[in-house]
A = this chain, B = another copy of it.
Amino acid sequence: MNYGFLCRACGLRLSFQPGTSRCRCGGTLLVEYDLERARRTLTKESLKHRVTSMWRYRELLPVQSKDSIISLGEGWSPLIRLHYAERLLPLGKLWVKREEQNPTGSFKARGFSAALSIAREYGINKVAVNSNGNAASALAAYAAYAGMEAYVFVPRDCPGIIVEECVQYGAHTCLVDGFIHDAGKIIIDGQQEQGWYNVGTLKEPGRAEGKKTMGLELSEQLGWRLPDVIIYPTGGGSGVIGMWNAFQQLKQLGFIQGDLPRMVSVQEAGCQPLVDSMASGSGFKPQSGHVDSSPTGMRVPHPPDGHLILSILRESGGIAIAVSREEILQAGAAYGRQGISASPEGAAALAGLTRLIDQGWIRPNDEVVLFNTSHAMKYMPWKLAASLPVVKTYQDWLRAVK
């Protein structure tokens, strides 16, 4: 095996295994590869002849056998110039990475393609996730394609079309009277009894590794260089963690040189633990007060490893900012007028850009990449199927499914 675990906090090395990504010190275990070995086959030239999915970077994904790969056509999403906005703002160069063109219409496809490929490699066939929505429907689709049984737990105010998707893909779908971490507790409480393999954020190595491919792609699509700034809507933060990891690996491989991008995390005001922790100047603190933001992927008051996200933002010279619901709505409309269908999370990134230009933090000659993580239409109002159970605890769930 040419990969193993490395603890991002204490530096401990461990052998790779599914079902964990937490060191005994509490730090997050990231996958470390034998890059000397990877370099033999992974070259800029060899990449020109490879599949146009995220699996083109297979030396940097923790799956041994090609037969384990579960792929529905994820990754290699378009990177599109926004000429109109560039002139308007003005800005050196502005790009949007169209992650909504992934299977299931969101960037979550990447993480589950990797996570379920690992699961298949280890003979796992019963998977569960807590999610604000898009991760649930992505898991549901990949599990269906792989012939695995999926259990998804989402807050009861999850956008209805996304809930509908989960049901359509055949997942056991349950609404939770609480936030994403409450949904997560149900899985933790039930995983031993139910035999669930927990594919929640940073509960196993695949999700962050799959997201890493966004960073690899971005660099390759720009001709093996990186922009000055990346603006990313942030909830659990595996995208920030994954992309930062990608950039380190590309540097070690000699594929890129020079400064890395300033990483910007955007959250919606009302659920902004990263913004508040960044402003405090000290360590990360989950949001303890009242949560008052929309039900989107950014609404994560207790991210699994806020320390790590914060340390990446700081190391990169980046920032975390909160934008209002109104700013998100306006940015969504502005995206629409440029031909892009943006989810609230994607729109938040554009709102963040506008704010950071106003503040002078982003300069007129900067090159910026925005991530649009999902389609606008997935968030349109929709009456939830009345037949779905609404639960609060694992015990509730047991009663509901009896």
Q: 1/0 per position for A121-158, CB-CB distance to B under 8 A?
A: 00000000000000000001111111100000000000
Residues of chain B with a CB closer than 8 A to A98's CB? 72-73, 103
Q: Is the CB of A147 within 8 A of B380?
A: no
- Report the minimal beta-carbon distance from A144 to chain B, rounded to whole angstroms: 4
Known: A72-B78, A337-B169. A377 touches B378 (CB 8 A): yes
Q: Is the CB of A339 within 8 A of B169?
A: yes
Cα A337 to Cα B143 with chains together (Å): 9
Cα A161 to Cα B72 with chains together (Å): 25
Q: Is the CB of B144 within 8 A of A339?
A: yes
A68-87 with Cβ < 8 A to chain B: 71-73, 76-80, 84
Residues of chain B with a CB closer than 8 A to A78's CB? 53, 72-73, 103
- Report the minimal beta-carbon distance from A52 to chain B, rounded to whole angstroms: 5
Is A105 among interface residues, defined by CB-CB distance under 8 A? yes
Cα A143 to Cα B333 with chains together (Å): 15
Of the four ranges (under 10, 10 to 19, 20 to 34, 35 or more), the interface on chain A belongs to: 35 or more
Per a CB cutoff under 8 Å, which of B48, B102, B169 touches A336? B169
A-B CB proximity, top 5 nearest: A73-B78, A145-B339, A168-B336, A144-B339, A141-B339
A296-333 with Cβ < 8 A to chain B: 332-333
**Candidate in A52, A98, A102, A380 with the most chain B CB atoms within 10 angstroms:** A380
Known: A84-B147, A101-B102. A141 touches B73 (CB 8 A): no
